[in-house]
Amino acid sequence: MKTFSFESYGVPVSILASNDDLLQMTIDIARKSLLGNLRTVVEPEAAHIIRVGREDGSITLDFDGEDCGKADSDYAFANYFDTRIRLLIAEFAVDRVFIHAGVVSWRGRAILLPGESHAGKSTLVTELIKRGADYMSDEYAVVDAEASVHAYPRPISMRSTSLPTTTWKVPLDGLNTNVPERAVEPGLILFTRYQSDGVWAPKMLTTGKGVLQLVPHTVSIRVHPNFTMSVLSKLASRGIIAESLRGEAENASQMIIDLVDKTIF
């Protein structure tokens, strides 16, 4: 077995692969997936163990003893592992809470758009960038103990509206935007979903209701409930929280910016 050990956001991980090529491919995916937030360590303590092997032309994968099954191609493995490694770090991160959300910074305040996959987060984030917002993430709001929001700037993952199975990555250098280097103060947490006839009618939520709505989008809630609840409470009390249906992202983005300008600045 070939081994590579690293630490990311305080989470120790060891990858055990059946050969060098597979190990290198796995490391490359991990580096890309974690945006380089990965530090090689020699002897990690209590590391999460990932086993990767080849079997009858397929790639087998095991996460901490959980048999994830077989990938029938390198492409399928790369896609799956890319998601799994990020989720592992997000779930066990020591001093950060990862919230599944699109995030931009507007006038130095973070706008969080928590939402499920396929909910249109990336589209909305892209429209906000077109209106001058700085890009932070289309996947995770990374929140520290003081509830400041850190960027997780993966290339934006877009999906075709006519062919939902067709996705492509928008490289960051193709966008006319900056990524904040420092943590950003929370501004607006907006729970919104697209509806073709959706009318924008933001309703403010209390801190408690906001936290409750954040829970289903928070990766670490079961692993670190004390820390996570503390961070979510701070986040919700430092920002404003609203919910609304929305129509097309192009119009909704302006409404969102107007809401932030009106309620925060």
Partner 1 sequence: MENPVARKNGLVIQETPDEVLVYDLDTNKAHCLNETSAFVWKSCTGGNSVADIVREFESTTGKTVNDDLVWLAIDQLSDNGLLESGMTARFAGQSRREVIKKIGLASMIALPVVASLVAPPNALAVGSCACLNNAACTTAPVGCPMTTCTGGTCTA
Q: Is 246 in the site for partner 1 (CB under 8 A)?
A: no
x-marked contacts with partner 1 along 156-195 as a string, rule CB under 8 A? --------xx------------------------------
For residue 114, the minimal CB distance to partner 1 (Å) is 9
Contact with partner 1 (CB under 8 A): which of 49, 213, 243, 245?
213
CB of 80 to partner 1, least distance (A): 4
Q: How far is CA 67 from the centre of its chain?
A: 24
Pattern 23-62, binding to partner 1, x per CB under 8 A? --------------------------------------x-
Judged by CB under 8 A, the residue of 44, 148, 209, 263 near partner 1 is 209
CA distances 119 to 90, 100, 178, 209, 228, Å, are: 20, 11, 24, 21, 24
Which amino acid, 186? P
Q: Which of 2, 16, 37, 91 binds partner 1 (CB under 8 A)?
A: 91
- Is residue 75 part of the contact set for partner 1 (CB under 8 A)? yes
Query: Shortest CA distance to 236 belongs to which of 252, 257, 215?
Result: 215
CB of 233 to partner 1, least distance (A): 4
Mark out the alpha helices in 4-50 (DSSP H runs).
20-33
Which residue, 97 or 252, has its beta carbon nearer to partner 1? 97
Q: To the nearest whole angstrom, how small is the minimum distance from the Cβ of residue 261 to partner 1?
A: 25
Minimum distance of partner 1 from residue 98's CB (angstroms): 9
CA 122 – CA 138 distance, rounded (Å):
5
Q: Looking at beta carbons, which pairs linking 71-77 to residues 24 or more positions away fall under 8 Å?
A: 74/25, 77/25
Q: How many chain residues are in contact with partner 1, going by CB under 8 A?
A: 50
Task: Using CB under 8 A, pick the residue from 230, 245, 248, 263 that binds partner 1.
Answer: 230
Rounded Cα–Cα distance for residues 191 and 202 (Å) = 9
In angstroms, rounded to a whole number, what is the distance separating the alpha carbons of residues 238 and 247? Answer: 28
Q: Which of 60, 110, 86 is nearest to 8 (CA)?
A: 86
Please give the Cα distance from 111 to 104 (Å, whole number): 5
DSSP 208-261: HHHHHHHGGGBTTTTTSHHHHHHHHHHHHHHSEEEEEEE--HHHHHHHHHHHHH
Which residues make up the interface to partner 1 (CB under 8 A)?
61, 68-71, 73, 75-84, 87-88, 90-91, 100, 115-119, 164-165, 206-209, 211-213, 215-219, 221-222, 225-226, 229-230, 232-233, 236-237
